Amino acid sequence: MGRQVSLDTSKRVALVTGGSRGIGAATARLLLERGYAVCINYRSNTAAAENLLRELGSDDLIAVRADVAEEAQVLQLFEEIDARLGRIRALVNNAAIVQTQTRVVDMSAQRINSTFANNVTSAFLCSREAVKRMSTRYGGQGGAIVNVSSGAARLGSANEYVDYAASKGALDTFTRGLSNEVAAEGIRVNSVRPGLIYTDMHASAGEPGRVDRLKSSIPMQRGGDPREVAQAIAWLLSDEASYCTGSFIDAAGGR
């Protein structure tokens, strides 16, 4: 969205993909509170992005529409951040989709490919562009990347969405590999794996009440709030986590 933000080089610039709702929106709110300039990226829900801009009413917040599974749109996204906020120092790869619950025997190639493009390719593309700007190898000042994975990567999500779980498993491997690749270039790469969190993603899979159905299986006996996940993300981005890279925080209530 076209509102111009004045460049303030004293602020760390953060990009939160899939940032208009749920965990992404909670993360954007928290990072603003902690003094970041933030770009929330969204793919199609303009109303949600506009509502968040109005709600937060900050001169340090912009929203940019882009499908981060598409390379050309990722390039345009980062060029807009460069122009409107400055060089990125923090990236949260949060954009992801989950599709209607079904078994593997009923999954089409189109569905599987779409899941991996949105959940894995997007993180590769955004991280690539972030590394170009953060890495001391390319004249950057360093930075931090947090990949939002899922407890599903450990559990598999049988009979529901094994494709989503597998894509998050791939994201975990990506976290480990990229963290080792850029550790000596001033970039830390970590991951948060949320469990059953109250967001509208469950409705996208066809069961809006899924958290309440399964919360008794969680040792803490409750679902999580998006802000609880955002706090873990913000900590990993912060200097308090300066010796953490290739690390995983399971924000899943003990499950």
Torsion 26-54-16-201 (CA) sign: positive
DSSP single-letter state for residue 188: E
| Structure tokens belonging to residue 112 | 């599987």
By C-alpha distance, which of 154, 145, 194 is closest to 174? 145
Q: So which residues are the catalytic ones? A: 164
63/174 Cα distance (integer angstroms):
26
Instruction: Count CB neighbours of 78 within 10 A.
Output: 24
Query: Residue 193 — left, alpha, or beta (φ > 0 → left; ψ -120 to 50 → alpha)?
Result: beta
First-to-last alpha carbon distance for the chain, in angstroms, is 39
Rg of the chain's alpha carbons, rounded to an integer?
Answer: 17
| Structure tokens belonging to residue 173 | 């491997």
> Do 38 and 94 meet the contact criterion of CB atoms below 8 Å apart?
no
Contacts of 240 by beta carbon, 8 Å cutoff, 6+ apart: none
- Alpha-helix residue ranges (DSSP H) falling in 185-225: 201-204, 210-214
